[in-house]
Amino acid sequence: MKTYWPDYYQDFKCKADNCLHTCCAGWTICIDKDSLSRFSINPDIMSKVDDGCFVLRDDGRCPFLRDDNLCQMIIDHGEDYICDICREHPRFYNFFEDHIEAGIGLVCEEACRLALDRSSAFELVSEDGKTMPLPAYVQDIYDSTLPLNARLALINGGRRTASNLRAKIYAQMEVMDPEWSGLLGKIADDPLTFEDEDKVIADNELCLTNFAAYLLYRYKGAGRFAAESVYLLADLIVKGCEIHEAARLFSGEVEYSDINIDEALETFADIEETPVSRIMCMEALFNMAKDHVTNEPGSVLAIQGVISKLEEYYTGPLWKADLALDEAGQLPQSLKRGVLSEDGIYNLLERYKELTEE
């Protein structure tokens, strides 16, 4: 069975003693059976093993991690001698019927650099050089005809969480780094508006698109989770966290805790489209386009993709069906639905047309 990797994986190499955030501290390091059997004849190694795991030092570092951040076991015995978890980290694997999709987790600062600093979509390449197309849910996030804010609205189904509530959700999970708690506390105490987040996302569109693509790839199209994670990264950036460090912190706190990632995926789970979720999504695009036409009329071509989505909705059967539900009183009163105003959406589309013809 072929294993496919993002093309940047070929450039991945552990930074070892040059890494600012060693992966050999702060974690429980469980030893696989084959490695444990191999270690059993070495009393120096076994003296540092208890119940199938390495006994960490008082400062949380692996007993074989030297002060210069090099591994004493590798120095003494070579890389092939270390246990599976040390050899494989930060790699991950998703298994399908006929292939495996693999990658490297952003908890590693070098993986962050390789994954986030790309100027275009990654490709999937097997070890023998064969390629396969990206899954559609990854390809869509790279759709440059739409600004990233619009792409996030589409994969989020219009269900965007307020920044202070999002921070409180994550703050209730297991915490491994006090810095994470401090940043979440800053967001909860001084929340960002959607407009604040959108500006940060626009200013960091390339890196955040790559971050969303990584999450969609790793979690098999978990759109709402990916979108909410991008919004959280925007919040962290505003609170003073550099973007790569924000991604690394997020990955370490959320992805590398089985409890936390399960809770996050469940909390921000995708749901099947309903009239309400569709209207919420289209309302987000409607407001985005309306604000752009009003405030930035000289650059309306930037929202061409958003206008196309709205026009497709307005001229198709779904807008009429949603309007009929509204007129029949079958939509929640609290639901914002300016997009169902025929004058509102028609005037927006006409104004866009006028601006593009000037």
Q: In the structure encoding, which two tokens stand for residue 297, read together?
A: 């009329």
Q: What is the pLDDT of residues 44-82, one digit of tens each?
A: 999 999 999 999 999 999 999 999 999 999 999 999 999
φ/ψ bin of 143: left (φ > 0), alpha (ψ from -120 to 50), beta (otherwise)? beta
Arithmetic mean of pLDDT, 151-165 = 93
Which residue(s) pair with 53 in the sheet? Answer: 30, 50
Q: What are phi and psi of 93, to 5 degrees?
A: -140, 135
> Which pLDDT score, from 0 to 100, does residue 173 have?
96
Contact between 237 and 229 (Cβ < 8 Å): no
DSSP annotation of 86: H
> Which band of pLDDT confidence, cut at 50, 70 and 90, is reported for residue 15?
confident
Closest C-alpha among 297, 279, 197 to residue 239: 197
> Which pLDDT score, from 0 to 100, does residue 332 have?
94
The residue assigned the tokens 């790839």 is: 217
> Which pLDDT score, from 0 to 100, does residue 169 have?
97
Asked if pLDDT for residue 14 goes beyond 90, the answer is no
The residue assigned the tokens 């929202």 is: 303
- Burial category of 275 from C-beta neighbours within 10 Å (exposed 0-12, middle 13-18, buried 19 and up): middle
> Which pLDDT score, from 0 to 100, does residue 298 have?
87
> Which pLDDT score, from 0 to 100, does residue 17 have?
78
> Which pLDDT score, from 0 to 100, does residue 158 have?
82
Contact between 219 and 226 (Cβ < 8 Å): yes
Q: 226-258 burial by CB neighbour count: b if 16+ within 10 A, else e? A: bbbbbbbbbbbbbbebebbbbbbbbbbbbbbbe
Q: What are phi and psi of 148, to 5 degrees?
A: -60, -35
Asked if pLDDT for residue 358 goes beyond 80, the answer is no
Cα separations (Å) of 58 from 61, 62, 150? 7, 10, 48
Arithmetic mean of pLDDT, 89-98 = 95
CA distance 206 to 198: 14
At residue 257, the 3 state secondary structure works out as: coil
Q: What is the pLDDT of residues 28-50, one digit of tens each?
A: 899 999 999 999 999 999 999 99
CA distance 175 to 163: 19
Q: What is the pLDDT of residues 165-188, one digit of tens each?
A: 999 999 999 998 899 999 999 999
Cα separations (Å) of 166 from 17, 106, 159, 169, 298? 35, 21, 12, 5, 35
> Which pLDDT score, from 0 to 100, does residue 22 have?
85
Closest C-alpha among 292, 291, 311 to residue 302: 292
> Which pLDDT score, from 0 to 100, does residue 352 have?
94
Count other Cβ atoms within 10 Å, centred on residue 59.
8
**Mean confidence (pLDDT) of the chain:** 94
Determine which helix (DSSP H) or strand (DSSP E) holds 266, and give its type and residue range: helix 258-267
